[in-house]
Amino acid sequence: MRRYVIKRIAQAVGVLWAAYTVSFLVLDYLPGDPVSAMAGAGADSGQVDPAQLAALRHQYGFDRPVPVQYAEALGRAVRGDFGDSVSTGRPVTSSLGDALPQTLQLTGAALLLAVLLGGGVALLATYTTRRWLRQLLLSLPPLGVSVPTFWVGLLLVEVFSFRARLFPAFGNDGLRGLVLPAVTLAIPTGALVAQVLAKSLLTALDQAYVETARAKGAGRVRIHLRHALRNASLPALTVVGLLAGQLIAGSVVVETVFSRDGLGRVTAAAVAAQDIPLVQGVVVFGALIFVSANLIVDLVYPVLDPRIVVHSRRRVSPA
Amino acid sequence: MTSHPDTRSARWTAAAAVVTSGILLSGCSSSDGTGSSGTDGRARSGGTLTFAVGSDAGCVDPQQVGSNDSIYSVRQVVDSLTDQDPRTGKIVPWLAKSWDISSDTTTFTFHLRSGVTFSDGSRLTAQVVKDNFDAVPKLGALATLAQGYLSGVRNTEVVDPSTVRVTFKKPNAQFLQATSTHSLGIESSASVKLSPQEKCSKGVAGSGPFTLSDYVQNRSVTLSKRAKYAWGSSLWAKKGEAYLDRLVFKVVPEAGVRSGSLQSGQVDAIGSVGKADETALKGGAVNLQRRANPGVVFNLGLNNSRPLLKDAKVRQALQLAVDRQQIVDAVFPTGTEPATSVLAHTTPNYADLGPDLSFDAAKAKSLLDAAGWKTGSDGVRSKGGTKLRLTVKWFANAATNQPALELIQQQLKAVGVDVVLKQLQITQFAPTLQSGDFDAVWGNVTRADPDILRSSYSTELANFYHLPASPLDTALNRQAATADPDRRGELVKTAQELLIRKAYIIPVVELETQLGVAKKVHNLDFDASSRVQLHDTWIG
């Protein structure tokens, strides 16, 4: 068990390092640099003294050899220092720290809705004996995954904010402001939950133990919830990692549509401004969330099914 | 929120129907609320104006910001030495009650008003102005607009506590207009001493009619009325304090959400209204207000050192082959005007050269024939094995850029010129100009002083467009050294004529700033640079 845990943690650290390195190289390779970006934003005539640009590049250290910049930046990143945002001058960690609670609120609410909606659809679709209803319910998840989040957001704003005037169209103000963005974000996420859960529920219901339980006289509801759902929840748990990725990616769109402050907006702004330190911070932070979610799943697995550790040990230790 | 899935999908269908019919209905309504909102009814004090803008530059220091969305708010925090009349372009008193300019326009002496205080309690003195003008050049690339206005400054001296003198190394007539801009807005000495980043994130103490009370990056800027404000611009209708108690600028990036929020009354005014949102906004309780931005119009800035473009006949053919009216009608918001000079008509000393810029494809073709460019089988002209092909680099800073350029591409194709469009990031604008690696670039410059022609086209400055030295330089230099407005106007007219008749650039369309303003909002007016002045604004 300890070996399993260490291995999973090492993998997580490796992914974080790779995310940092790849993003560093990609950002370095891209044309333009943050200093020209700063100058370009203020000067539509492009009239900036090259000497001043050079001085700024020196100030931010962009004039040093790339390996030196990389080594120094990585060294600081390990200690949790991602430098200062080029566009605002604020430390990257505090920019991200300020945005985080807003995004957690949004993604938390969306995740809750997604599990309730997605789980509800999956359970109902597999429980019902009416063929048409099952077909209808099973056709919802692919629809939910494929409609563009952007469009869903605008549609909800149009109907529930501009016309019905039930909720504000933008901003971070309280629970009412959270409803529309959370629903928007919950639709693709919930669809994913429904897809995976429905599939594994259907598989589970075909298993022999279900027949056994049925023969012993267990009711349909009991079989569905106690036996099938319990076994089907393991594959569904695997998608939690995917969900984390989906929620982070979705927050960029949702926060832009609903003008919400948060990590997604920070990301969009950082990319637009070629704010290299901030983009790097966002990438590593996103990877951290993704990796943590997967790590938790990996660590919860053996609790649900002890066979997983045994299997894993056999694979990793050839000796 | 655990609604039954099938009623959910039914609701979606209903929602889609509502949206579609809504768009159709609003498409039918007309009525065009152009111009300033009426002043009927009695002006009243109090209330909050909520203004939705599309972006946040991440900075609330007037001296550093360059984007309209940020200027709208920070402009209200600082006063300037002078103000500029948007109708006449004339410079009028504000913090300076009068000024003297040396006949060679190198020395500007400002006589300051007394009794002006900053929101941190300090007083306006000649020393404060000097502190500001000494500090601005040190902001460097962080404050390109402000720094450009002060380039070539020799020194700023305190003559007496209420008199300050700015001396330049060379004649610099544009400086007087520059003192009217937000970029040279006067901040308290304590604010000036802060680091650029501190000024950006925490804001500054100005002497303006509003003070910054809250700034949350990417979310909002909140301003409060300055009590006992009594030194407003001589252009403002109301004396003393502003009418409104509070101004809240919300950052709403989505254009559709901005216009919907305005229509549904969630905000009182919005910036950056595009053609796509116009229809939805017409007919409701909303006025569309528009004004052309002064300065250099949207144009194809030619690299005159390229072999193809060295030939004046080719350049003139390009100028004649562009049908500006068609571009305006197809792409730009209602009210946008085709270029009739290199300067927009709202720029002081603009000269109407419309006839020189009229569309004449036949003449363009004959000019190209005369220059030896023969049409090939693919419709593209060539000469000595070289195709008549131009690469136009453009930047994603306006939604209208791509459709406008695609139309130009078609129009030039019709006379045998092959145009390749290459999109770059806006951050590459400055590097592209500096490197000279372009046949043509698409862009504009907002500036309410004709000296922008000198900064853009003098061969003695950056000369990004690689113009050859010519009598144009003389005209540009002399207008910068002329304090007499009539004489300066003549010289600026000459410069415009030379630029157009030699076809050094291809002016296409004026940039128009369009705001959506609720009808209950009165006197929300444009300043001379087509940004807003909110001291006189009231809600009733």
CA distance B65 to chain A (A): 6
What pLDDT does A310 receive? 60
B537/B39 Cα distance (integer angstroms): 10
Q: Cβ distance B256 to A299 under 8 Å?
A: no
DSSP letter string over A189-234? HHHHHHHHHHHHHHHHHTSHHHHHHHHTT--HHHIIIIIIHHHHHH
Contact yes or no for B58 and A273 at CB 8 A: yes
Question: Average per-residue pLDDT in chain B?
Answer: 89
B28/A15 Cα distance (integer angstroms): 56
Quote the percentage of chain A above a pLDDT of 70.
90
What pLDDT does A37 receive? 65
Q: Cβ distance B112 to B124 under 8 Å?
A: yes
Structural tokens at position B297? 């119009």
Give the model confidence (pLDDT) of B185-209 as tens digits: 999 999 999 998 889 889 999 999 9
Residues 6+ apart with CB under 8 A from A130: none
Q: How many C-beta atoms surround the C-beta of residue A94 within 10 A?
A: 11
Nearest alpha carbon to residue B342 among B493, B488, B178: B493
Q: Which residue has the tokens 């002043």?
A: B39
Quote the percentage of chain A above a pLDDT of 90.
29
pLDDT grade, residue B38 (50/70/90)? very low
Give me the amino acid identity at A215. A
Give the model confidence (pLDDT) of B316-336 as tens digits: 999 999 999 999 999 999 999
State the SS3 of A146-191.
Answer: HCCHHHHHHHHHHHHHHHCCCCCCCCCCHHHHHHHHHHHHHHHHHH
Nearest alpha carbon to residue B313 among B471, B501, B469, B499: B501
What pLDDT does B284 receive? 78
Q: Among residues 178-237 of chain A, which lie with CB inside 8 Å of chain B?
A: 183
Among all residues of chain A, which has the CA nearest to that of B257?
A169
Distances in Å between the Cα of A228 and the Cα atoms of A204, A303, B468, B502 are 5, 18, 82, 82
Give me the amino acid identity at A33. D
Q: How far is CA A206 from the centre of its chain?
A: 33
Contact yes or no for B425 and A163 at CB 8 A: no
Contact yes or no for A155 and B256 at CB 8 A: no
Among all residues of chain A, which has the CA nearest to that of B1?
A113
What pLDDT does B144 receive? 74
CA distance A1 to chain B (A): 39
Separation of first and last alpha carbons in chain A: 17
Higher pLDDT, A83 or B353: B353
Give the model confidence (pLDDT) of A128-166 as tens digits: 889 999 999 999 999 998 999 999 999 999 999 999 999
CA distance A266 to chain B (A): 8
B281/B276 Cα distance (integer angstroms): 10
Q: How far is CA B64 from the centre of its chain?
A: 15
Q: Is A89 on the interface with B (CB under 8 A)?
A: yes
B234/B225 Cα distance (integer angstroms): 19
A8/A313 Cα distance (integer angstroms): 12
Phi-psi region of B436 (alpha: psi -120 to 50; beta: other; left: phi over 0): left
Q: Which residues does chain B have within 8 Å of residue A47's beta carbon, measured at their own beta carbons?
A: 144, 148, 455, 461-462
Contact yes or no for B266 and A169 at CB 8 A: yes
What SS3 class is residue B326? Answer: helix
Give the model confidence (pLDDT) of A199-221 as tens digits: 888 888 888 888 888 888 878 88
Give me the amino acid identity at A308. I
A295/A289 Cα distance (integer angstroms): 10
Question: Average per-residue pLDDT in chain A?
Answer: 84
Order across the sheet with B418-424: list the strands: B418-424, B389-395, B440-446, B295-302, B505-509
* Phi, psi at B301, each rounded to 5°: -80, 110
A-B C-beta contacts closer than 8 Å: 188
Q: Cβ distance B150 to B144 under 8 Å?
A: no
Q: Is A5 on the interface with B (CB under 8 A)?
A: no
B416/B368 Cα distance (integer angstroms): 9
Give me the amino acid identity at B149. Y
B128/B373 Cα distance (integer angstroms): 61
Nearest alpha carbon to residue A164 among A174, A186, A179: A179
State the pairing for strand pair B210-216/B220-225: antiparallel
A319 burial type by CB count under 10 A (0-12 exposed, 13-18 middle, 19+ buried): exposed
Contact yes or no for A45 and B455 at CB 8 A: yes
Higher pLDDT, A39 or B149: B149
Among all residues of chain A, which has the CA nearest to that of B259?
A162
Which residue of A49, A90, A162 to mutate against B (max B Cβ within 10 Å)? Answer: A162
* Phi, psi at B224, each rounded to 5°: -120, 150
Q: Is A158 on the interface with B (CB under 8 A)?
A: yes
Q: Which residues does chain B have within 8 Å of residue A45's beta carbon, measured at their own beta carbons?
A: 148, 296, 445, 452, 455-456
* Phi, psi at A12, each rounded to 5°: -60, -45
What pLDDT does A39 receive? 62
